Chain A
Amino acid sequence: MMRFLRQSLAVAAKDLRAELRTKEALNSSVAFALVILLLFSFAFEPTEDQTRQIAGGLLWLAFAFAGALILNRSFARELANDCLDALVAAPLSGAALFLGKALANFVLLLAVELIALPVFGVFYGVNWTRQLGPLMLVVVLGTWGMTVVGTLFSALTVNLRMRELMLPMLVYPVMVPALLAAIQLTSPLVMGQPLDGELMVWLRLLAAFDIIFTALTLALVETVLVR
Chain B
Amino acid sequence: MNAVEAAGVWKFYGDFPALREVSFGAAAGGCLALLGRNGAGKTTLLRILAGLARAGRGQVRLLGGDPRDRETRARVGVLGHGISLYDELSARENLELFARLYGLNDAPRRAAAWLERTGLERVADARVREFSRGMRQRLAVARAFLHEPRVLLLDEPFTSLDDRAVELLQGLLAEAVAAGGAVVLSTHQLREALELATHVVLLVRGRLAHTGERTAAMLEDPGWLYRQYGEG
Contact = CB atoms under 8 A, between A and B. Distances in A.
Nearest to B70: A91
Interface in A1-40: 3, 6-7, 10-11, 14, 17-18, 21-22
Contact of A14 (B52, B80, B97, B103): B97
A48 interface: no
Contacts of B81: 82
Interface in B87-108: 87-89, 93, 97-98, 100-103
A80 B129 CA distance: 11
Contact of A81 (B54, B71, B87): B87
Interface residues of A, number: 25
Given A82-B80, A226-B53, A226-B54, A87 B87 contact: no
B191 interface: no
Given A81-B85, A82-B84, A92-B70, A3 B103 contact: yes
B224 interface: no
B119 interface: no
Contacts of A129: none
Contacts of B84: 81-83, 85-86
> A-side binding surface: helix, strand, loop or mixed?
helix
Contact of A17 (B54, B80, B88): B88
B17 interface: no
Scoring B68, B70, B84 by chain A CB atoms within 10 A of each residue's CB, the highest score goes to B84
Interface string A79-116: 01111011111111100000000000000000000000
Contact of A7 (B76, B78, B93, B100): B100
Given A82-B81, A82-B83, A90 B52 contact: no
Contact of B98 (A18, A22, A90): A90
B55 to A, nearest CB: 11
Contacts of B100: 6-7, 10
Given A90-B101, A92-B101, A226-B54, A17 B89 contact: yes
Contact of A91 (B53, B88, B103): B103
23 contacts: A6-B100, A7-B103, A10-B97, A10-B101, A11-B101, A17-B93, A21-B88, A81-B85, A82-B83, A83-B84, A83-B85, A85-B84, A86-B85, A89-B52, A89-B76, A89-B78, A90-B73, A90-B101, A90-B102, A91-B74, A226-B53, A226-B54, A227-B54
Interface of A: 3, 6-7, 10-11, 14, 17-18, 21-22, 80-83, 85-93, 226-227
